[in-house]
Amino acid sequence: MDSDFPFDEVVLVEMPSESEAERLWLRLHPARMAWVLERAGVHFVAAVLRTAPGDLASLLRELEAWVAESGIPQVRFELDGRTYSLRGSPAYAAATFSASRRRPLGDAPRGGRESSPGPTL
């Protein structure tokens, strides 16, 4: 990812629409610095990681809960230069993480769905 952000520890979450990006931002922003941005027609939520121990785990649990509640099948996020998918499941409240080595963040098809799942971590 070509980072245009002045922060080293930013998690960038690709969203299926602007309205979903705003919903996630509304959920995250009371507890952390976050913002919505758009690049080439793709909407993202950027969230800054705090220095507190366990903050990444806290953010991922919050994102996991949001995906499960929202009904969105999956979101992709970038962390430390790697792209991951967080998938919601209608049968379970938990989600699974999988590494995505197919395309950089923001290069998903216009429908926002991956053509094939990545390996499970």
Q: Note the pLDDT tens digit of each residue in 27-74.
A: 999 889 999 999 999 999 999 998 888 999 999 999 999 999 988 888
Is the four-CA dihedral 30, 32, 36, 42 of positive or negative sign?
Answer: negative
Q: Which helix (H) or strand (E) holds 67?
A: helix 55-70
- 20 lies in some domain: yes
Read off φ and ψ for residue 43, nearest 5 degrees: -100, 140
Query: For residue 20, what are the domain limits?
Result: 10-100
- 121 lies in some domain: no
Tell me the pTM.
Answer: 0.68
- 95 lies in some domain: yes
Query: Taking each helix axis from N to C terminus, what angle separates 18-28 and 55-70, rounded to the nearest 10 degrees?
Result: 130
- 37 lies in some domain: yes
